[in-house]
Amino acid sequence: MAATIDFTHPPYLHPSDTPGIILVTHQLVGIDNYSVWSRSMRVALLTKNKLGFVDGDSKKKAYTEELQSQWERCNAIVLSWILNSVSKELSAGILFTSSATLVWKDLKERFDKVDGSRVYFLHREITTLHQVPHEP
């Protein structure tokens, strides 16, 4: 008897889940737009019930052998969505990675940086703010 999955299972592929679709309107170009891109991608993947493929919650080993090939197809679709949403320069560095989770972690490690000097500068500006008295 063949194993079946429905739309509530992460490996389920809706007919609209094709490799060519673009999930977010802006491509990842680097550290400058990583946080906006990452948040946009997470929301898009969540709506498609595919967030587990990038955050590691959906693991191939969790499925029967019969469903593991379906999991692999889903992982490949998610990889294609990521590739479609990054610049050509970045896609060259992730093209041959076979796991959406590994690609996601790699991009996060490279671009999810907090600029310590910028944080210090903003903190200093906030602490030195003072209110100018209002004259009637």
pLDDT digits (tens, 9 = 90+) for 104-118: 999 999 999 876 666
Distances in Å between the Cα of 9 and the Cα atoms of 18, 61, 71, 79, 86 are 17, 15, 10, 18, 27
Mean pLDDT of 11-35: 94
The helix-helix angle for 34-47 and 100-111 (nearest 10°) equals 150
* CA distances to 28, 80, 87, 100 from 32, in Å: 9, 22, 13, 22
The end-to-end CA distance of the chain, in Å, is 84
* More confident position, 129 or 49: 49
pLDDT digits (tens, 9 = 90+) for 65-107: 999 999 999 999 999 999 999 999 999 999 999 999 999 999 9
If you compute the radius of gyration of the chain from its CA atoms, what whole number of angstroms results? 20
What's the total number of domains in the chain? Answer: 1
In-domain check, residue 107: yes
Q: Is residue 58 part of a domain?
A: yes
Of the chain, the percentage scoring pLDDT greater than 90 comes to 76
Residue 57 resides in a domain? yes
In a domain, 94, yes or no: yes
Model pTM score: 0.80
Residue corresponding to tokens 């004259």: 135
Q: Which domain holds residue 83?
A: 33-130
Predicted pLDDT at 91? 94
State residue 1's pLDDT score. 45
Is 50 exceeded by the pLDDT of residue 56?
Answer: yes
For a pLDDT cut of 70, what percent of the chain falls above it?
A: 92
What is the mean predicted confidence (pLDDT) over 30-42? 96
Q: What is the mean pLDDT of the chain?
A: 90
The reply to whether 41 falls in a domain is yes
